[in-house]
């Protein structure tokens, strides 16, 4: 999480905490929106000051997605609920091969939430959106009674444009395709759990929360035959692969020896009884490509900040059954199934 030094624009001496009136439609709400939100996210579309944003989009296909964020704690090593909300929606758009352009921002704030904490979240949102190259063009604010909101919840929806001819979808997966992962697993989930439970490890584990649209754009612009992409959020690598196997349908085989997991994360997982294959990430994704393009794709990914540890971890080994197989470290094959629930609740 960044350290924000700019002073909160709401007079803290008068309103140190969010009041129900800040969501009531009167002067306090308009003051909050004008001085905090509109000022932080200012752009020509937001300045329309209308009930909906009027957008001009290029002709052709667009991608549209929405997601809600209820992470606890709100601030964690490597990020916070604000950066998570922007990166999560940006990455969902990028995984469909879209270039993210516009986001909406919905805030549900609990009465009593500290105004300084809200300002930190707002500044994080603004900085993360700038880094990802997206504009927040519309939004909404609601305040709920004390004890009914757990601080703050955020919803973001996003629009992106698809300006290429690729059909990036599980249905495009072909037998023989190779699967490339852009780096190590498990940091986000373990960072959240350590902060939540007050766990101390030898080294502080930071979330991998980051936007992936830039690295994806480089892959697509290179002319690589991309068949599918997915980010590895809730349920981790295992759940994502099982979703692909079910949607394709496909038989997927990956090699455990090739899947990168940093030693500090591996050690934390062993202590906590977690499997890194199932732990959530917020800056990791897989790309399924035609084997003839795999080395080129790998090279492009390794040259990007978000892909330095990229590696080919497996392949599509058949189309007759919907299953994920893991070649273990001792050389045996076992089924890598989807969890029935969550190892770590409220990690996003």
The domain that holds 46 is classified in CATH as: 3.30.1330.10
Q: Count how many residues are written for the chain.
A: 348
User: Within a domain: residue 7?
Assistant: no
Q: How far apart are CA 241 and CA 257, in angstroms?
A: 17
What domain count does the chain have? 2
Q: Where are the alpha helices (DSSP H) in 248-344?
A: 263-272, 294-302
Domain range enclosing 320: 170-335
3-state class of 172 per DSSP? helix
Residues 262 and 133 in one domain: no
What's the token pair of residue 282? Answer: 């917020």
Q: What is the mean pLDDT of the chain?
A: 94
Residue 344 lies in a domain: no
- Percent of the chain residues topping a pLDDT of 70: 97
Do 150 and 178 lie in one domain? The reply is no
Q: Structure pTM?
A: 0.94
pLDDT for residue 192: 96
User: Given pLDDT bands bounded at 50, 70 and 90, which one contains residue 345?
Assistant: confident
The confidence score (pLDDT) of residue 62 equals: 96
Distance CA 144, CA 112 (A): 10
Percent above pLDDT 90 for the chain: 84
Regarding whether 182 and 309 lie in a shared domain, the answer is yes
Pair 176, 291 in one domain: yes
pLDDT at 347: 92
157 plus 243 within the same structural domain: no
Asked whether residue 8 is assigned to any structural domain, the reply reads no
pLDDT digit string, tens, across residues 67-122: 999 999 999 999 999 999 999 999 999 999 999 999 999 999 999 999 999 999 99
CATH of the domain at 206: 3.90.650.10
Residue 1 lies in a domain: no
Same domain, 180 and 41: no
Q: Are residues 134 and 192 in the same domain?
A: no
Distances 41 to 30, 102, 126, 183 between C-alpha atoms, Å: 15, 12, 6, 31
Q: Is residue 12 part of a domain?
A: no
Are 200 and 138 part of one and the same domain? no
Tell me: pLDDT of 201 over 90. Answer: no
Residue 320: predicted pLDDT: 85
Q: Which of 145, 162, 179 is the last residue of a domain?
A: 162
190 and 51 belong to one structural domain: no
What's the CA gap between 186 and 233, in Å, rounded? 10
Structure token pair of residue 201 = 């490890």
Dist CA 31 CA 85 (whole Å): 24
Give the pLDDT score at 99: 97
Q: Which of 162, 186, 216 is the endpoint of a domain?
A: 162
Q: Which of 113, 142, 162 is the last residue of a domain?
A: 162
Let me know if residue 2 belongs to a domain: no
On whether both 143 and 227 belong to a single domain, the answer is no
Specify if 11 maps to a domain: no
In a domain, 195, yes or no: yes
In our burial notation (b when 16+ CB lie closer than 10 A, e otherwise), range 87-112 reads bbbbbbbbbbbbbbbbbbbbbbbbbb
Tens-digit pLDDT profile for residues 5-62? 567 887 766 789 999 999 998 999 999 999 999 999 999 999 888 889 999 888 889 9
Specify whether 240 is located in the same domain as 121: no
In this predicted structure, the answer to whether residue 125 has a pLDDT above a threshold of 80 is: yes
Same domain, yes or no, for 75 and 184?
A: no
Element (H, E) at 293: none
* Three-class secondary structure of residue 33 per DSSP: helix
User: What are residue 141's DSSP bridge partners?
Assistant: 107
């Amino acid at each position: 999480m960044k350290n924000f030094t700019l002073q909160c624009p709401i007079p803290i001496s008068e309103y140190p905490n969010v009041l129900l009136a800040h969501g009531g439609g009167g002067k306090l709400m308009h003051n909050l929106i004008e001085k905090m939100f509109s000022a932080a996210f200012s752009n020509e579309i937001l300045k329309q000051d209308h009930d909906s944003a009027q957008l001009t989009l290029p002709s052709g296909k667009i991608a549209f997605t929405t997601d809600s964020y209820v992470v606890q704690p709100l601030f964690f090593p490597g990020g916070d609920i604000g950066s998570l909300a922007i990166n999560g929606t940006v990455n969902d758009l990028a995984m469909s091969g879209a270039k993210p352009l516009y986001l909406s921002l919905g805030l549900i704030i609990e009465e009593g939430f500290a105004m300084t904490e809200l300002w930190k979240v707002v500044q994080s949102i603004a900085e993360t959106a700038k880094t990802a190259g997206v504009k927040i063009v519309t939004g909404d604010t609601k305040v709920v009674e004390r004890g009914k909101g757990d601080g703050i919840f955020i919803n973001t929806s996003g629009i992106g444009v698809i300006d290429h001819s690729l059909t990036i979808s599980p249905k495009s997966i072909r037998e023989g395709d190779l699967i490339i992962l852009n780096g190590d697993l498990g940091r986000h989930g373990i960072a959240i759990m350590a902060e939540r439970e007050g766990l101390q490890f030898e080294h502080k584990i930071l979330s991998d929360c980051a936007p992936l649209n830039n690295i994806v754009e480089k892959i697509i612009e290179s002319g690589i035959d991309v068949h599918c992409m997915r980010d590895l959020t809730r349920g981790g690598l295992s759940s994502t692969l099982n979703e692909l196997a079910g949607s394709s349908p496909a038989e997927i085989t990956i090699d455990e020896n090739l899947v990168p997991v940093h030693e500090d994360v591996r050690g934390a997982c062993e202590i906590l009884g977690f499997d890194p294959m199932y732990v959530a990430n917020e800056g990791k994704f897989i790309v399924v490509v035609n084997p003839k393009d795999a080395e080129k794709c790998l090279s492009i990914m390794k040259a990007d900040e978000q892909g330095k540890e990229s590696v080919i971890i497996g392949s599509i080994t058949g189309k007759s059954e919907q299953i994920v197989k893991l070649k273990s470290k001792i050389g045996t094959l076992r089924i890598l199934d989807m969890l029935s629930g969550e190892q770590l609740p409220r990690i996003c």
